[in-house]
Amino acid sequence: MSTDAIKTVSSFILDAPPGELQDVISDVKSLIGGDASITANLAPAVETYNKEQLISTKLPGAGGKLVIVSEYNDLGDGRFYDTEANSSWAFDHITQKASSVQSYVLESKNADLIKSLLKSLAPHVSEHYPSLPAYGAYPSNDDTTVALVITGNKYSPANYWNGRWRSIYNFDPSTNTLTGELKVDVHYYEDGNVRLLTTHAVDVEVPGGSATDVVKAIAKKEKEYQEKLNDAFGLLSEGAFKSLRRQLPITRQKIDWDKIGSYRLGQQVGLFPTHEQS
């Protein structure tokens, strides 16, 4: 493959909607031909995608616990670690499967804080992320800060939509500041493509600076952002979307546009009574 072709196809990979990476890879294979080209040329893009999207995976023999793949817990050579599971594992970025699980001991001056943050994050995630949640806390910025990442996924391919919420934070215990981003990505693709991509910055001081205080600040910011999204959706549905798309008829039923030419206006859609012509 040429350099330009690799860049173009890599952009398809990096832009794959939640839960649809394998579909995109399959489409790419049909364009460039064969698994060998995928492995040789597109593996870097797939790896970047998995880490940016906070892809979660199950560890063999660890029950149903999901662990995150990210830049923050990357050990190199295709291995990642989880501070709560005290494990490291090999990760196949193409298949998104974990293997070769080993024990892992965290070495960090913030190890006690990380353990406390994980303990406080667990009930928050359990309460607010009902579908396929995963979370983690890791040393960051040369062990001067702690990275906290949360992801929630909901896939409904039978109904033609998939979605992902990502929370990415950095907590500095020396200044008690919490910074980061909240990201929402939802894809609807029934008879077309509609995609929501949003990013919201977080920058707040955390009085006290304890693990409980940090998670309270996270919960507050996530609630505020979700409420803003709900308000925005309401405004869109009542405003911009109405101007873009015809509303449902009074019957509240979709019109079969393939048969619209055969309709006798008002009669077959049940809007008016039928009167026989004399």
Supply the CATH classification number for the domain 111-238.
Answer: 3.90.1150.210
User: How much of the chain exceeds pLDDT 90, in percent?
Assistant: 62
Closest residue by Cα to residue 171 from 229, 215, 112, 124: 215
Q: Which long-range contacts (CB under 8 A, 24 or more apart) does 154-158 make?
A: 155/18, 155/19, 157/19
Determine whether 149 is exposed, middle or buried from the number of CB atoms within 10 Å of its CB (0-12, 13-18, 19+).
buried
- Tell me the pLDDT band of 16, cut-offs 50, 70 and 90: very high
Question: Could you give the residue ranges of the DSSP H alpha helices within 63-210?
Answer: 111-128
Residue 119: the pLDDT is 97
Residue 39 reports pLDDT greater than 70: no
Give CATH 3.90.1150.210 domain extents, the chain: 111-238
> In angstroms, rounded to a whole number, what is the distance separating the alpha carbons of residues 22 and 13?
9
> In angstroms, rounded to a whole number, what is the distance separating the alpha carbons of residues 16 and 263?
40
Residue 122: the pLDDT is 95
Residue 200: the pLDDT is 95
DSSP state, 17? P
Q: What is the pLDDT of residues 166-204, one digit of tens each?
A: 999 999 999 999 999 999 999 998 878 888 899 999 999
Mean pLDDT of 112-127: 96
Q: What is the pTM of this model?
A: 0.82
Give CATH 3.30.1140.60 domain extents, the chain: 3-103
Q: Which CATH superfamily is domain 3-103 in?
A: F-actin capping protein, alpha subunit (3.30.1140.60)
Q: What is the pLDDT of residues 87-104, one digit of tens each?
A: 999 999 989 999 999 999
269: Cα within 13 Å, side-chain hemisphere: 19
How many helical (H) and strand (E) elements, i.e. helices and strands, does the chain have?
7, 11
Residue 29: the pLDDT is 78
Write the Ramachandran bin of 93: left for phi over 0, alpha for psi from -120 to 50, otherwise beta.
alpha
